[in-house]
Amino acid sequence: MAGRSSLPTAHASPQFKTLPPLSLYVHIPWCARKCPYCDFNSHEARGELPEQAYVAALLADLELALPDVWGRAVNTVFIGGGTPSLFSVAALDALLCGLRARLPMAADAEITLEANPGTVEAEKFTGFRSAGINRVSLGIQSFNDAHLRALGRIHDAAEAWRAAELALRVFDNVNLDLMYGLPGQTPDQAAADIAQGLSLGPQHLSAYHLTIEPNTLFHHRPPALPDDDTAALMQDAVEAQLAAAGYGHYETSAFARPGRQCRHNLNYWLFGDYLGIGAGAHEKISFKNNILRRSRVRQPKAYLAQAGTQGQFGEQRGLSPAELPGEFMMNALRLNQGFDLDLYPERIGCDSTPLLARLDAAEARGLIVRDHRRVTPSALGRRFLNDLIAMFLD
């Protein structure tokens, strides 16, 4: 690939007229068992979970952060993990009541809960809905027992099917997570997983290519995965299946029926702001003339001991003006429909002049399509997304 073009050496500091939309991410770090491919900040639950103490810590964490977002309404909430559905209905109800008491929340706020088959039943789903959850993201991964065992999942195919049916009976906005490129998987098996997921009729489906990440068991003991050509065939077939079923491919791994895109994730990809509370959570907050990134301590015990104090924070740093083009593009280029050029100065508080040379270079290589209003990754750019994003990083 050709070398990257240079940005001008001078970068203006951001100056915001209107701050971006605000979301809230809540991290619950425990799971029933750590999966061998997982590199998230998750920890196997041993014994009874400290639900009350952790909810209190989350709310103390939020109170410390409130001055940074005072008066701003939250449009989406995402409760992720770990496996948040391990928590009781009572604990999640207390959490949501505490959030509403401290933050103005939009009347139509999207409130998502991640759940895994094997950690939920009909009564629990009904309780989550009554507490205010209005969207569920269910970690199916596969409907094939052999592949579920290879992934170290705690559920089998029958439990996955039952959990998806229950979720769709209780909620009218459900995402199913599926994966392809699994150990020993054939293209026909990958297609069968997608077909089974589609037969349930979810509003949203995420289809991820399994990748081996550092600091995972699969990295230390790699399984035999389909080769790159086979994985590419799987990806093409998956995308074609979902398109034929009427699901719009709006982000690298995300597919939705019309109007059912995940609003929370769209806010990330369009460089909106988000608070992050919980062990290991990250946040991005814009102020009048700067943008702050901040994380929480990762270990649950340390977080519980320090929540509500300055000790709860891990890294804190302001984004330099030179970083802003790359930060924005690293997110926005994940969207298959791209972004309006007018959004760039709105979300980073600077004009788009420093971006133009690199846009020219990306267009010359056939990685983007653009006009005076919009930038869109081409089919080639979507296939080589990492190469495209790298053109905007220093």
DSSP summary character for residue 261? S
Residue 239 lies in a domain: yes
3-state secondary structure of 64: helix
348 located within any domain: yes
Closest CA to 318 of 289, 345, 343, 346: 289
Same domain, 108 and 30: yes
CATH number of the CATH domain containing 42: 3.80.30.20
CA–CA separation, 320 vs 382, rounded Å?
28
Query: What domain range is 336 assigned to?
Result: 322-390
CA-based angle 219:329:282, to the nearest 5?
A: 55
Considering the domain architecture, whether residues 103 and 28 belong to the same structural domain is answered as yes
In a domain, 359, yes or no: yes
- Do residues 262 and 333 both lie within one domain? no
Domain assignment of residue 280, yes or no: no
| CA dihedral of residues 388, 214, 238, 204 (deg, nearest 10) | -90
Low-confidence ranges of the chain (pLDDT < 70): 1-12
Could you tell me if residue 304 is inside a domain? no
DSSP string, 67-105: GGGTTPPEEEEEEEES-GGGS-HHHHHHHHHHHHHHS-E
Residue 9 placed within a domain: no
The per-residue pLDDT for 17 is 82
Tokens matching residue 213: 């990440």
Residue 97 shares a structural domain with residue 225 = yes
CATH number at residue 375: 1.10.10.10
Residue 297 domain-assigned (yes or no) = no
Q: Tokens for 132?
A: 């205010």
Structure tokens belonging to residue 204: 């949203």
Q: Which amino acid is at 94?
A: A
In a domain, 1, yes or no: no
Last residue of a domain, one of 223, 241, 268: 268
Specify whether 201 is located in the same domain as 84. Answer: yes
Q: Are residues 78 and 217 in the same domain?
A: yes
If one counts the domains in the chain, the total is: 2
Phi, psi of 275 (to 5 degrees): -80, 150
- The per-residue pLDDT for 313 is 93
Q: How far apart are CA 254 and CA 198, in angstroms?
A: 14
Task: Give the pLDDT score at 11.
Answer: 59
Residues 149-180: tens digit of each pLDDT: 999 999 999 999 999 999 999 999 999 999 99
Examine the domain organization and report whether 117 and 199 are in the same domain. Answer: yes
**Domain termination residue (choose one: 204, 234, 268):** 268
**Which pLDDT score is estimated for 9?**
38
Q: With b meaning 16 or more CB within 10 Å and e meaning fewer, what string describes 228-247? A: eeebeebbebbbebbeebeb
